[in-house]
């Protein structure tokens, strides 16, 4: 990165400040976030009529984790494609699966809008922008509820979880767990490299990270988000925190994907080991 020109030693010192224990905690928090979001996806698909086993759906979710390393939209496409390939008979159609993403995205958007005041200071945004963001997502949430009541389309079925009190509440709860885990991971990494960041700063970094992840800029999104929000407090340290966020996030995703691969092989091995029972022949 050009912003690190002449700051290599400072950058290396900041990177070395993170202990193995701190990195392990950050990786664990990333896995918690991935599992929580996968469960929210499971609830949304279940409400839409899918009967996919939880473990099968989690394995499909792991493909999305690998894809999202490059781009968020690629992650969604990989997750949906993997689920349709593995369980075409019990998973909803692709339009329904696409719509099932929206309740989760709206919850994340509402949380981001409520916390968008954390961006005002670092980015010099107008004070009224968070109010506009909250209003926009409130309207989007109301519109989603209205669309969820429609019948007769595969697309609207994907929104079924919105008008189910228990299912909708659980989706909100699991998304909240995922967001809190990510905020804590950001805060831990920032402090590990010597940045005196508050939880609000960690929230702002998360919002910036998710926003930049929509662009095809690849693994550098973590460093870019950290520098964007906290670069004024030290570019090298902020970039180091961003790099560690990317590294621990990637390792956490690979751990999730490794479990999915092993679990898939074990499931196929069990299925192959089951004795074949021939059909009884009719007499006569």
- pLDDT tens digits, the chain, 284 residues: what are they? 555 555 667 777 777 888 999 999 999 999 999 999 999 999 999 988 888 899 999 999 998 887 787 777 888 888 899 999 988 888 888 888 888 888 898 899 999 999 999 999 888 889 999 999 999 988 988 888 787 777 666 667 777 787 776 778 999 999 999 999 999 999 999 999 988 889 999 999 999 998 888 776 767 788 888 888 988 777 888 888 989 999 999 999 999 999 999 998 998 888 776 655 454 444 43
Whether residue 94 lies inside any domain: the answer is: yes
Instruction: Give the model's pLDDT for residue 284.
Output: 38
- Count of domains for the chain: 1
pLDDT reported for residue 98: 87
What is the b/e burial string over 104-115, where b = at least 16 CB atoms within 10 angstroms of the residue's CB?
Answer: bebbbbbbbbeb
Give the helix/strand (H/E) hosting 247. Answer: helix 235-273
Dihedral through CA 261, CA 246, CA 212, CA 237, nearest 10?
A: 170
> Is 69 strand, coil or helix?
coil
For residue 264 the two structure tokens come to 């898939």
Within a domain: 260: yes
Owning domain of residue 127: 8-264
Residue 2 falls inside a structural domain:
no
Asked if the structure places residue 270 within a domain, the reply is no
Closest by Cα among 213, 185, 209, 210 to 199: 185
Sole residue written with tokens 């595969």: 154
Per-residue confidence (pLDDT) for residue 73, from 0 to 100: 80
Are 15 and 240 in contact, with CB atoms under 8 Å apart?
Answer: yes
Q: What is the pLDDT of residue 152?
A: 61
CA 38 to chain centre: 8
Judge whether 43 lies within some domain: yes
Contact 1, 239 (CB under 8 A): yes
CA angle 43, 98, 181 (to 5 degrees): 50
The answer to whether residue 55 is domain-embedded is: yes
Please give the Cα distance from 258 to 238 (Å, whole number).
30
Residue 284 included in any domain: no
Number of Cβ atoms within 10 Å of the Cβ of 232: 10
Longest CA pairwise span in the chain (Å): 90
CA 51-57-61 angle, 5° bins: 150
Supply 141's token pair: 């949430």
What's the pLDDT at 3?
53
For 21, residues 6+ apart whose C-beta sits below 8 A from its C-beta are none
How far apart are the C-alpha atoms of 247 and 68, rounded to whole Å? Answer: 14
d(CA 112, CA 231): 21
Task: For residues 247 and 227, give the distance between their C-alpha atoms in angstroms, rounded to a whole number.
Answer: 16
Establish if 274 belongs to a structural domain. Answer: no
What is the pTM assigned to this prediction?
A: 0.87
> Distance (Å, rounded) from C-alpha 2 to C-alpha 15?
18
């Amino acid at each position: 990165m050009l912003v690190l020109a002449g700051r290599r030693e400072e950058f290396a010192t900041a990177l070395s400040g993170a202990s193995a224990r701190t990195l392990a905690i950050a990786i664990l928090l990333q896995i918690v976030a991935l599992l929580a979001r996968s469960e929210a996806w499971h609830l949304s698909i279940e409400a839409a009529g899918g009967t996919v086993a939880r473990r099968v759906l989690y394995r499909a979710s792991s493909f999305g984790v690998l894809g999202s390393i490059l781009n968020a939209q690629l992650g969604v496409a990989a997750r949906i494609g993997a689920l349709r390939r593995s369980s075409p008979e019990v998973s909803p159609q692709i339009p329904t699966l696409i719509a099932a993403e929206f309740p989760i995205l709206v919850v994340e958007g509402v949380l981001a809008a409520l916390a968008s005041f954390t961006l005002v200071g670092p980015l010099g945004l107008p004070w009224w922008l968070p109010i506009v963001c909250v209003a926009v997502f409130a309207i989007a949430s109301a519109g989603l509820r209205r669309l969820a009541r429609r019948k007769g389309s595969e697309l609207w079925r994907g929104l079924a979880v919105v008008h189910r009190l228990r299912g909708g509440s659980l989706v909100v709860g699991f998304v909240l767990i995922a967001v809190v885990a990510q905020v804590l991971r950001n805060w831990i990494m920032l402090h590990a490299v010597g940045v005196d960041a508050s939880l609000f700063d960690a929230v702002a970094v998360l919002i910036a990270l998710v926003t930049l992840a929509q662009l095809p800029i690849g693994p550098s999104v973590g460093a870019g988000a950290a520098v964007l929000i906290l670069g004024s407090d030290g570019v090298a340290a902020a970039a180091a925190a961003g790099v560690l966020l990317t590294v621990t996030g990637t390792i956490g995703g690979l751990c999730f994907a490794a479990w999915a691969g092993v679990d898939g092989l074990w499931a196929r091995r069990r299925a192959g080991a089951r004795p074949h029972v021939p059909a009884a022949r009719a007499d006569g």
